[in-house]
Every structure is written in structure tokens, then in C-alpha cells.
């Protein structure tokens, strides 16, 4: 269930199949914690019969498994999943930092989002970690940036524009230049801040031009 | 509980307060269906005492209410919520269309996302509507584009970059130019398609350069 | 020949014309130095006859004049000229800073560009000023950023995407947040630098990961 | 004077130098017409002594030559030159198409730009070709898009954001999806048009919402 690049997998598959073997690739989506909890999502490609033979194993190890057909589809699908995740993360921190510089409470924004249709585990956990200054990386910023690059390159092969991923990629590159590579992907919020503050510190009130009432919102 | 612009609200509030009155603004976040279900989120600003006096009403009408302090904060917070929503919608359709042009199943992408930490009501409902060709607008594309513009302008007032919202805004403008203004915001996917197809139609297989096995993924 | 916004001009024009007067608007394109040299470009709208009556004056004051027809066209055309200029400036500094961080000579890049088909007075003067640390503002950064905003808004009225201007606008906003509003527009290069260096200082060699030979290119 | 990728050049150089040879790389900047006119710009790297020995040849073949030091610098510098050119081209067509959809004369915009400090051979020739419908490719769109990709990747290696190039790349990808790969780079203007018109055709007047006086500007 290790992850290698699409060309290597395809070569490997051909070598095995040409000698009469059966090949199955099965990368997983999810981080360390999901793995511990048996909540991984497994994306399999290759030999369908072998996939079915393995399905009881997959059920033990993960929450769900998908059979995606042709070898290389799993790698592509994983990139797209991570592209969506990485772009959404950049969008969330854009909202959080805009909340902050317009002198409102980031916690209140999170509370509002958590009450609405956008509520998700991803949104809640990433935001809680930002607001609490919990930096344990679940998904390294440098890896999500790499996957954004690869997803943009995937779009390039089929001439498909990906302007959201392209914008997100630029934001992550800035965060990398600010030494956030080995922090969790939410450290991309550092790219939105113009001063060398710790990523969870409140902005100084001198930067709050609109109102003196920094962070006074209160949920009920 | 109607929504007017921040300057008008501020003037109104001052006029009322200066004559000894109490002013409370309470715009809501949510669409028609949430309203019917009593699931709106209410963002109130103005007189805190009046807010507390009204709280039983708010409890009857909505799922939750927030008191955000100073008049104008509710308008700003609403813009940021919609900015996040609009940018995320653009990201989702970017992923869905990239899935399609790389000859994989959009339904499988949705199934994978629905099993992961990004799962949300918003993600599921919008994607289901796209895949089923259900065009009933819950949130008009033209309104989310307008809110993206206003959120970018809000960032402008405090020199805060919003590259994700700026990228999303350009995508929505393209969708408007393709006559999608009065469809639901998910019709932004039209901006990613180069031919004048109905927004839910599969791409012709001639556009599938990577593989002949269009949409063969199958979840288990 | 002063510049006011399109709506005011239109009202003014109507007031004058309705009373039997003739109205001519004539904003100019160019900065202080071009004005001193009689090299301004004059964009006139309104009454064509009056424009022709004034043409000898315009010839004395500027290099060229254009009659653009309907009042409001001059304001729109000026925005588009400045949009092109502002986006190009951002592109130039993107090239210059990328040259620098990949450990090559900015002067050599400028020399190459000056020898090619992109050579222009704008390119040469702005780059010379950057490389020489000459900060005298000819065109304030805050004004070009404002014109980018207005040009994007103009595109918005006709649903025309302006992704280059949108990207440039975000870069200028970042430069404004870094206190460059009252410098010349080329100070947008500050937005590409991650440390609080003076805008013309060479990057420290520790930031030069690719090669120790910082800035060794030499033109012949 | 052929152009190969940086890694191959570096290997080749090492092989030659390790056997006691002298290596000089000399890619050129310019298109077919410049070549015929002896107006190419030559970017040399490798052995400085050999460069000096060849300088009389270079003088015969090109307008100017530069010695850039270490092998691989020429390839990088060329990418940056083309990145600036490609992003500027996208900016120009953004201006031209915005002029058109706001019902003004593209020719007048070009005349104004040609009178100002932005005037360059590149600007004039590309715009004249667009306005005259002259499609002979000097620089293929697919190659400038490839160079934008490579320049973005170069930025990626040093964590340097290139938001202008990233925005331009997305526009060129859209143009490629609209079958413009083998046209000149200025065919990127097709990406800004929402209908399947020939790239030089005027927009139908029904698309001119602001004014009935389409293209009435006239230079003097």
C-alpha cells in the first residue's frame, strides 16, 4: 500500500502482468491519526479479481475502499483530492486572516461556519489548531504544496485550467519561503501575515484600523 | 432582519440611537430551505440589551444566533462567510472537472470526499445537484459573485491580499459571461468547460485523451 | 484637463449641454516629467467641434491627442492603459526577483530585455530606478493599485475576466501592506521579498541556494 | 547553438571538461525573423576563454551576446525572459479585449500605447497582427505556455512566488484547450472570448451593453 509515481507503477504493473502475475495498487488517503483509527480511505487500481480477493483485508484496515480501474487512476484521483483539500485550506486561512485584520473574532467566524452547511471535521480541526497554536503536523505543508504542483501539471497534460489551485500554490510557496515547510498545511496562514509573528499570535492592535474592539464577537 | 449595506445601517443606527432608541441589526446566513427548516444562522449587531431581549425570538427562528458587537460587523462577517463558500465552490468544481477531463468518475471523487474529513452538507448537496443536473438555485451565482467582489473590496480597505477570492471571482465572472447568473452558484463549473454543453452533460469521449475508460471507477 | 470620475463627468456634461453649452473632457496620460517635456498623451471626449477648435492648444501641450467620442470613454480608456502598465510592472519585478533568487544578475536580465523586442522606455527607466535605488515616485504605487481595482470593476460590469489584473492587484495590495503606498509603483517588488530589506538591496547570499556565483553575469 | 535542457547540458559539459575539453553553450533569444536579420541575442555559458575566442562569430550572427557564467544559467535566464514576454502578452490581450467589450476601439488603445512609454516593437507587432488577422506564428503559443510552466517550476525550486506567471499560464492553458496551440502566442486572446469567433473578428454589437458606438474612437 505504499505510494509511488504513476509511471513507475505502470511499468511495474506491466512487468508483473506480462509474466502472468496479478497486480493491485492501493494507496490510501488519510493521515497518521486516521490510520490509527482504521479510518483510511483506500484507492485501488489494477486487477479487479485480486481487489475482490483482498476486500476483507481492506475492510479491516480502512473505512472504505474504491476500485478505480486502470493503474495510474489512483495516483490521479489522490492528487485531485489533495488539490481540493489544499485549495480549501488556503481559502479558510484567507477568511480567518481577513476576519482578523478587519478586527473581528476568528473564533466567531469558526463558530458560524461550524453551524452552517460548510461544517466539516477538516474545517473544525484545522481552525481549532490554528486558534490554539497546536502545531503538530498531520499533513506537512511541503507535501500539500508538492501535490498542488502535480495536480496543476496533471491539468496541464489535458489543457485544463486550474486557477484556484494555481493561486493556492503561490500562497503555499510564499509560506515555504517563510520557513513553514515542516509545519502542518494550515501554516499557510503565515503567508497572509506581513510581520514575523508566531502563526497563532493576535495581530497588534495598531494594525486594526477599522475598530478598537478587536475580537469582541461572542457566540451564544 | 433584512440586509442592507454597511453605511446605510450605520447611518440608520446613529439616527435611532441619537433619538434615544435602541438599534439591532440581524442579517441571516442560509438559503430558502434552511429558512423553512428553522436552521438559519443569525448574526446580530447593535444594542446588546435588545439582542438579549430578542433571544427567544431568535431561538424560534434560527438554529443559532451570534452577537457581533458594533454595527457593520455583521455585514463584514457575512461577506467573509460567503467568500469562503464561494471560493470553496470554485475549488470543488475545479476538482470535479479535472476528474472528468482526466477520464475518471466524478461520482467516485464525490464518494471519496464524502468518506473523508472534508465531508460536509455543502459539498454533498452541491455535487449531487451537479451530477444529477438539478438546477434549482438555492444561492444565485450572481449573488455569490457580488459577495466575492465585496469581500475583495473589504480586503482592499485594509490592504489584505485575498488571492483565492480574486481567482474565484474571475471564474465566476466567466460563468456570468456564459449566462449562468441566474443558476445556482455551482453553475460556475460551466466556466471550466470549453464547449457549450449543458452543465451536467458528460464530456464527449473525444476529449478524453488519457484513457478510453471514461468514468469506470466504482466505489464499494 | 483635470480627472474626475465617469459619473460626475457625465452629469456635468449633461448639465452643460442641456443649457446649450459645449462640453469637452481631456484627461492626460503621463507623469510629471512627461508634462514638463510636452510629451503628454491627451484623451478627449465630448463635443467633437470643440475638440477641433482646441487642437492647436493640445498640440502645444502634449505629444498627441485622441478624440474618443462619448463622455466616459476617456476615463475607461485611461483605466485600461493603467491596467496594462500596472500588470506589466508586476510582471517585470516578478522576473527581476526570480533572477535574483536564482542567483543571476538583474542587470544582465535588463540588458537582455533592452536588446530585444520588449525594449521600451518604461521597462528601462523602471528597472534602472530599481537597480540604482532611485525612489523618486513618478507614479505612486497606491494610485496604480487603485486603477487596477477600478479596471477590474470595469470588467465586472461587463462580466469580462481580468485574471492578470486580479493577480497584479493582489501583489500591489501586499506591497501596500508593506508600507510602499507612497513609493513609485516599482516598489511592488517589495511584495516579492520575504525579508524586510530595502527594496534595492541584494538578497543575502545565504538565500542563494543554487549557486555561489551571485550576480556574476556580464554583458558584452 | 541548439537548446537542450539544463541537466543534459550540465552532464555534457562535465563529460567534456573532465576529458580536458572546453565547453560553451550558446542558446539564442529571438524568432525566425530576427535570425534572418542578424538580430538574435546570444546567451553563452561555460568556458569564458572559449566565449572570447568565439566573439567575432557571435558578432556576425547576432546583435549582442552575453556571457552568463555557470552552465545552466543561460537556460534559466531564457525562461525568465520568456516568462516576462508571455505574461506581458496575456496582459496586452486582456487590455485589448476589455477595450472591445466596453465598446471602445482596440486600434485607439494601441495608438495610445504606441505614443506612451510602454511603446515597444513587441507591443506594436503583436497588436497589429491581432487587429489585422495575421496569424503567421513567430512564437508558437504552445511553446510560450511550456516556458511559463518551466519558469513557474524554476520559482518552485527556490520557493519564489510567481503569481503573474501562474495567472498567465492558466490563460494560455485555456487557449490551448480552444485549439490555439499552433497559432502565435497572441492567440491567447481567444481565451478571453466567450464565443467561437475567429480571433480577430469584432464582437457582435449585441455584446456591447454600455454603448451603441462600438469602436468609434479615432486618433488624430
Angle between helices C106-115 and C121-132 (to 10 degrees): 170
In D, residues 173-192, which contact C (CB 8 Å cutoff)?
192
Beta bridge partners of B64: B41
pLDDT of residue C90: 98
Q: With an 8 Å Cβ cutoff, are B160 and A97 in contact?
A: yes
What is the ipTM metric for this complex? 0.86
Contact A174 C163 (CB under 8 A): no
In chain D, the percentage of residues whose pLDDT exceeds 70 is: 85
Q: pLDDT means per 10 residues in chain D (220 residues)? A: 64 89 84 75 90 86 87 91 97 97 94 94 94 87 96 94 97 94 94 62 45 33
Minimal Cβ distance to C163: which of A163, A174, A178: A163
CB B148 within 8 A of CB B172: yes
Comparing CA positions, the residue from D140, D143, D10, D16 lying closest to residue D74 is: D10
**Phi/psi-derived region of residue C198, left when phi > 0, alpha when psi is between -120 and 50, beta in every other case:** beta
Comparing alpha-carbon positions, the chain A residue that sits nearest to B92 is: A84
* DSSP-derived secondary structure for A31-68: -HHHHHTT-EEEEEEE-HHHHHHTHHHHHHHEEEEEE-
Residue A97, chain B, CB below 8 Å: the answer is yes
Q: Do B176 and C170 make contact, defined as CB atoms within 8 angstroms? A: no
Closest by Cα among D195, D184, D216, D200 to D86: D184
pLDDT, tens digit (0-9, with 9 covering 90-100), for B97-153: 999 999 999 999 999 999 999 999 999 999 999 999 887 898 999 999 999 999 999
Q: DSSP character for B210?
A: S
With an 8 Å Cβ cutoff, is D194 touching chain B? yes
Q: What are the tens digits of pLDDT across the range A176-206?
A: 999 999 999 999 999 998 654 444 455 444 4
Taken in order of first residue, the domains within chain B and their CATH numbers are: 6-71 (3.40.50.720), 76-207 (1.10.1040.10)
Q: C-contacting residues of D 104-133, CB under 8 Å? A: 104-105, 108-109, 111-113, 115-123, 125
Partner C contacted by D6 (CB < 8 A)? no
The model's confidence at residue A5, banded by pLDDT at 50, 70 and 90, is low
Residues of A in contact with D177 (CB under 8 A): 159-161
- How many helices (H) and strands (E) chain B has is answered by 9, 5
Sign of CA dihedral B172, B175, B176, B182: negative
- Distance, in Å, from the CA atom of A195 to the CA atom of C150, rounded to the nearest integer, reads 28
Model confidence at C188, in pLDDT bands (50, 70, 90)? very high
Cell 494550515 found at: A186
Cα(D18)–Cα(B43) distance, integer angstroms: 73
Q: For residue D169, how many other CB atoms are within 10 A of its CB?
A: 30
In the block, cell 490551448 appears at: D176
Q: Give the three cell numbers for residue B79.
A: 461577506
Neighbours of chain A (3+ CB pairs under 8 A): B, C, D
Chain D neighbours, 3+ Cβ pairs < 8 A = A, B, C
Distances (CA, A) of A196 to A90, B92, C198: 19, 32, 16
Please write the tens of the pLDDT for every residue from C41-99. 889 999 999 999 988 888 887 888 899 988 889 989 999 999 999 999 999 999 999 99
Using CA atoms, how far apart are residues B113 and D145, in angstroms rounded to an integer?
Answer: 32
Per the document, the length of chain C is 220
Distance, in Å, from the CA atom of B56 to the CA atom of A179, rounded to the nearest integer, reads 49
Say what the alpha-carbon torsion angle B62, B65, B71, B75 is, to the nearest 10 degrees: -60
Tell which wins on pLDDT, C121 or C58: C121
Q: Give the three-state DSSP class for B66.
A: strand
Query: A–D: how many Cβ contacts below 8 A?
Result: 43
For chains A and C, what is the number of CB pairs under 8 angstroms? 8
Three-state DSSP at B120 gives coil
State percent of chain A over pLDDT 70. 85
Closest alpha carbon within chain C to A176: C194
Which residue stretches of chain A are H helix? 6-18, 32-36, 48-53, 55-61, 73-101, 106-115, 121-132, 141-157, 163-177
Q: Which of A97, A177, A179, A192 should one mutate to test binding to chain C, selecting the residue with the greatest count of C CBs within 10 A?
A: A177
Q: How confident is the model at residue A60 (pLDDT cuts 50, 70, 90)?
A: confident
Angle at B104 between CA B211 and CA B175, to 5 degrees: 115
Alpha helix (H) residue ranges in C102-139 = 106-115, 121-132
- Residues D156, A149 contacting (CB under 8 angstroms): yes
The cell 459577495 sits on which residue? B147
Note the pTM of the prediction, 2 decimals.
0.87
Amino acid at each position: 500500500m505504499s505510494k509511488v509515481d504513476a509511471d513507475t507503477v505502470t511499468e511495474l504493473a506491466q512487468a508483473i502482468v506480462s509474466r502472468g502475475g496479478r497486480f493491485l495498487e492501493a494507496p490510501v488517503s488519510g493521515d497518521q491519526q486516521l490510520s490509527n483509527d482504521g479510518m483510511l480511505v483506500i484507492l485501488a487500481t489494477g486487477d479487479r479479481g485480486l481487489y475482490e480477493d483482498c476486500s476483507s483485508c481492506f475492510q479491516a484496515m480502512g473505512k472504505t475502499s474504491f476500485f478505480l480501474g486502470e493503474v495510474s487512476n489512483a495516483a490521479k484521483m489522490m492528487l485531485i483530492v489533495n488539490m481540493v483539500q489544499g485549495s480549501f485550506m488556503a481559502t479558510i486561512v484567507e477568511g480567518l486572516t481577513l476576519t482578523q485584520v478587519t478586527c473581528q473574532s476568528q473564533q466567531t467566524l469558526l463558530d458560524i461556519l461550524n453551524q452552517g452547511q460548510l461544517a466539516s471535521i477538516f474545517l473544525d480541526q484545522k481552525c481549532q489548531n490554528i486558534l490554539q497554536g497546536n502545531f503538530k503536523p498531520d499533513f506537512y505543508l511541503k507535501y500539500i504544496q508538492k501535490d498542488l504542483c502535480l495536480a496543476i501539471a496533471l491539468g496541464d497534460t489535458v489543457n485544463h485550467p486550474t486557477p484556484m489551485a494555481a493561486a493556492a500554490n503561490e500562497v503555499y510557496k510564499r509560506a515555504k519561503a517563510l520557513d513553514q515547510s515542516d509545519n502542518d498545511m494550515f501554516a499557510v496562514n503565515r503567508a497572509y501575515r506581513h510581520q514575523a509573528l508566531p502563526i497563532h499570535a493576535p495581530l497588534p492592535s495598531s494594525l486594526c484600523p477599522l475598530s478598537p474592539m478587536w475580537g469582541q464577537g461572542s457566540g451564544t
